[in-house]
Structure 1
Amino acid sequence: MKLIYQNMLGFLLIIVTTISIIGYSEIGYARNQAYMQNYQRMESYANSLGELAETDEKNGTVLLNDNFLNQLEFVLRGDDVHLRIFNDQNMQIYPRVNAKVQLSDKIFSTLKNGQEIRIQNNHAEHSPIGSTKDAYTGVLVPWMNGKNLVGVAWISSKVTHVERPIYMSKRNLLRALLVTVAVGLILSFIISYYSTKRIKRLSRATQKVALGNFNVQIAHKDSDEIDQLAENFNKMVKALKQSNEEVRAQENRRDQFMADAAHEMRTPLTTINGILEGLQYDAIPEESKPKSIDLMQRETKRLVRLVNENLDYEKIRNNQIMLIKTDFDAMPILRDLKSQLKQNAGKANDEISVTGPEKLPIYADRDRFTQVMVNLVQNAIQFTHDGQIEISGKRLEHASEIFVKDNGIGMSKDQTKYIFERFFKADPSRARMGTGESGLGLAIVSSLIKQHGGKVKVDSEPGKGSTFTIIFYDKGYEQFISKDQ
């Protein structure tokens, strides 16, 4: 069933239920009032007749004579009122009948005690008066002379006469129900159409998003839950658009990596294959063979390094390495690093400097810490020419902070956003042969530091260089984050 019909059905059920409850209460109230007024009217007639009764000092009570009662009943017939009179011996004396008509002993005993009895319908199962052809309602009123019963008057009228206002109320209620249902149908259709129209708009927008259109936005007024849903939909589409852009960027970097890896591997493989063919066919002079073999070794090592970097990154990313963390002084490692990479920096005419406190305590895996620093400094050397590379450190509260600053080519904000991701190269056209051209060095740095419970960030500006900042926390103060963050 369509939502518009569901809403209309819901509105109609509410309307019908409400009208039914109100109508049931109203009819019940009208019935009670009708019978209560009838009881009061009948009791008034009975009490008035009782006052007209005469008493004979010798014979006791003398009830009203038949002629008077016939005339009275004739007058009241317009109100559909009927009389029955019983004497103090429980015998019906008006209207006079040949058969013996009496009240039940229980009812008569109650009346002798001066209690009135109201009868709603003498066709009911427990009616104190026997059933008649037509259903009657009325009262049994005892006439008392002090504590002595004089007689009993049963004054009644037909139930159909009493319930005539109730029938009218039912007809009016039915008319009101029909009119309300008709009006409710129109109003519920308008309201449902308005609501479902907005939902259909959301549905159409969702279909567009499913087809890959992430530029869909829905106008809303922030007035109700559907508008909140539209707002959340807009936020979702923006997030999906960003995710889609990031996935495409990842795919582009992956494709670029595959192309770079194929290129990087093809060159050494071609060199090695050429030398092997030259050795096989004695095309290489004897004096050139040592250089050729040395070249093959370098190219082989280069291939091994490319493969090892990928394997190393996968192990680090999947937490398959064991960190043996200890407390040590980082300053000797930083100074040794300067000496080890001085030759590489000299090829780019760069200078490396190390500054910091006399001791810089670090809680980390010593070998992995060295790997992180080597990758950061190699990255700085790769993108800095005729410049300065500064390595410095300082203590924080429960942590040590290390900086690797260069004045090289720098990066834009879009580049720094992805710099720690796999396959990414800030400037592929400037990448030279050597450690880092695979685009995995900084991804390895980020993964290792996160596994240490530390932090890494980069501040950079095109043409002015970059500053990488890493923080290693002391034991017990590491800040680990979930893998999904």
Structure 2
Amino acid sequence: MKYVYKQMLAFLIVFVVTVLTTGIIFIRFFVTNIYDEKERQLFGYAEAIIEENMTLADISTGTAMISKQDVIVAMYNKNDRLVYPISNQTYSSGLSDRDWNRLVQGNRIALRQRDRGFMNEEIAIVTVYVPLFNYQNGDFEGTVAVAAPISGIKKDISHMQTGMLWATLISGGMAILFSIGFANYLSQRIVRMRKATNAITQGDFEIYLEDYGRDEFDELSRDFNKMVTSLKESNAEIMRQENLRRQFMMDVAHEMRTPLTTINGILEGLEHDMIPEKRRARSIEMMHKETRRMIRMVNENLDYEKMRSEQIVLTKQILNAQEILQTVKEQLQTKASSKGNTIGVSVSSPHLTIYADYDRLIQMLVNLTNNAIQFTENGRISLTAHASDGFTVIKVSDTGIGMKEEEIPAIWERFYKTDPSRRSDAYSETGIGLAIVKSLVANHGGEITVTSKIGKGTVFTIQLPNKENSDGQ
């Protein structure tokens, strides 16, 4: 069953239960009222007879006058014998001893259901009894009984029930129309959400549901919109990661193909004696170089994955900044000179220290310096260090080609290259160095930033906490 029909059914059930309950209560109320009103009327007749001190002749005349109102009058003496209407037979009131004693004590009695008349005729009547006392001595003289056929009361009740039935049918029809309209209104809002959900499954993340802030449906719409925004962002991130994965596979294939092609060509040349004897040593050296390049690329990727999964273990110690920077300069001086570059080292104090893992710190600085050399020709590369508020600040700057500001966030991705036309040169850069540097700095509890201007150069700044700051983190 569809939700709209369930709602309609629920509304109708609630309506029917409410109407039936209310109807039963009202019917009982009105029936009681009708009987009470009839009893008051009959008591009024009986009391009028007593107050007027009517004789039997007067009662007979009065009874003839009110007979059209379906009122029957009877009188019983103190011995419970019928004295009016006059009859050749003896009749009693038929009251129980308990009820007769109540009359003797001066209490009025009302009987709503009697199936016999005063002279034992078959008729359903409502009867009231009012005790009659002697005005002079106050002795109980008998009772005045006034009755009315129930048929007249039932006619009034029937008219009332008919009116209630019509009111129920009319209100029921209105309730059905209202339930259809209201259920359709609520269902339309659900249908709107279902259509929006289907749109999302088709990849449409621009869908938006109106939020009027009125009820739970609007709260659901608000949460739905948040979900769509989150899905949109997640989808964009998935697409970005997928593009990076594809680019990664292409770059790995490209980086591996170059050395493998070189090695394969040399091996074929050696196999077919196509390489002269005097060039064989150089060829073998090239194979060693390309092999080391592939090993370095594999190791760098393994290191990067270890750092991302926090599997790397750092052995931190206090290191002399001057010695560290000087070591990096000596390792890369030859490479820098091949491109016409010079490397300068400047430390604010000979006693300046760096709290870091020795091998990983050298790896960071070598990668940054290699990057500087890669994009600088006939320029200067500077390695500097100074202390600043519990941190050691290390800068690697160059006077190279620089980068655009929008390119800076992307340089930390694996295999990202600011210059698409760049290919591996004699020093075999893999394009993963900066990603490794960022991860290593983070593992040290530090921070790395970069500033750059096109044609002016680039500055990488590393902040590493000193021993006290690092141990406190």
Q: State the TM-score, normalizing by the size of structure 2.
A: 0.79
Letter in 2 for 1:181: G
- State the secondary structure of the residue aligned to 2:412: coil
Task: Return the offset for 1:357.
Answer: 6.5
1:49 aligns with 2:49: yes
Q: How does 1:286-297 map to 2 (within 5 A)?
A: 286-297=277-288
Q: Deviations over 1:380-427 (max 9, x none)?
A: 44344435455545434x766655555544545654444434444443
Letter in 1 for 2:388: R
2:109/2:130 contact within 8 Å kept: yes
Residue 170 of structure 1: which of 161, 168, 172 is its match?
161
Q: How does 1:232-247 map to 2 (within 5 A)?
A: 232-247=223-238
Query: Using the alignment, how far apart are the partners of 1:92 and 1:407 within structure 2?
Result: 136
Aligned residue in 1 for 2:432: 440
Query: Using the alignment, how far apart are the partners of 1:165 and 1:467 within structure 2?
Result: 103
Task: Return the offset for 1:302.
Answer: 0.8
Task: Return the offset for 1:232.
Answer: 4.8
Task: Return the offset for 1:470.
Answer: 4.9
1:119 aligns with 2:108: no
Structure 2, gaps ≥5 residues long:
none
Query: Which stretch shows the higher mean deviation, 156-165 or 108-117?
Result: 156-165
Aligned residue in 1 for 2:421: 429
Aligned residue in 2 for 1:267: 258
Aligned residue in 2 for 1:481: none
2:211/2:221 contact within 8 Å kept: no
* Cα distance change on mapping 1:436 and 1:455 into 2, 3 Å: farther
Task: Return the offset for 1:301.
Answer: 0.9
Q: Deviations over 1:246-302 (max 9, x none)?
A: 323322222222222122212222222333344444444443333222222211111
CA RMSD of aligned residues (A): 4.0
Q: Deviations over 1:107-158 (max 9, x none)?
A: 22333333333434458xxxxx9x9955443433333458753323343334
Q: How does 1:133-152 map to 2 (within 5 A)?
A: 135-144=124-133, 148-152=139-143
Task: Return the offset for 1:210.
Answer: 1.5
* Cα distance change on mapping 1:77 and 1:465 into 2, 3 Å: farther
* Cα distance change on mapping 1:336 and 1:122 into 2, 3 Å: farther
Q: Deviations over 1:58-96 (max 9, x none)?
A: xxxxxx53x444443443333333334343334444455
Q: Deviations over 1:223-265 (max 9, x none)?
A: 5455555555455444434433332332222222222212221
Letter in 1 for 2:171: T
Residue 203 of structure 2: which of 209, 212, 217 is its match?
212
Aligned residue in 2 for 1:39: 39
Task: Return the offset for 1:315.
Answer: 2.2
Aligned residue in 1 for 2:370: 378
Query: Using the alignment, how far apart are the partners of 1:358 and 1:292 within structure 2?
Result: 45
Task: Return the offset for 1:3.
Answer: 3.3
Q: State the TM-score, normalizing by the size of structure 1.
A: 0.77
Aligned residue in 2 for 1:88: 78
1:409/1:465 contact within 8 Å kept: yes
1:360/1:395 contact within 8 Å kept: no
1:376/1:404 contact within 8 Å kept: yes
1:395 aligns with 2:388: yes
* Cα distance change on mapping 1:10 and 1:339 into 2, 3 Å: farther
Residue 212 of structure 2: which of 217, 222, 230 is its match?
222
Query: Using the alignment, how far apart are the partners of 1:152 and 1:22 within structure 2?
Result: 40
Q: Deviations over 1:408-453 (max 9, x none)?
A: 4454565444443444444343354488944433333444444555
Query: Using the alignment, how far apart are the partners of 2:315 and 2:431 within structure 1?
Result: 26
Query: Using the alignment, how far apart are the partners of 1:117 and 1:330 within structure 2?
Result: 117
Residue 185 of structure 1: which of 173, 176, 179 is its match?
176
Query: Using the alignment, how far apart are the partners of 1:119 and 1:181 within structure 2?
Result: 38
Query: Using the alignment, how far apart are the partners of 2:288 and 2:397 within structure 1?
Result: 34
Q: How does 1:193-208 map to 2 (within 5 A)?
A: 193-208=184-199
1:405/1:467 contact within 8 Å kept: yes
- State the secondary structure of the residue aligned to 2:388: strand
Letter in 2 for 1:296: M
- State the secondary structure of the residue aligned to 1:157: strand
2:104/2:131 contact within 8 Å kept: yes
2:70/2:149 contact within 8 Å kept: yes
Query: Using the alignment, how far apart are the partners of 1:261 and 1:379 within structure 2?
Result: 19
Query: Which stretch shows the higher mean deviation, 151-160 or 262-271?
Result: 151-160
Equivalences, count: 460
Residue 251 of structure 1: which of 234, 238, 242 is its match?
242
2:385/2:392 contact within 8 Å kept: no
Query: Using the alignment, how far apart are the partners of 2:425 and 2:138 within structure 1?
Result: 130
Structure 1, gaps ≥5 residues long:
55-63, 124-128, 479-485
Query: Using the alignment, how far apart are the partners of 1:370 and 1:268 within structure 2?
Result: 26
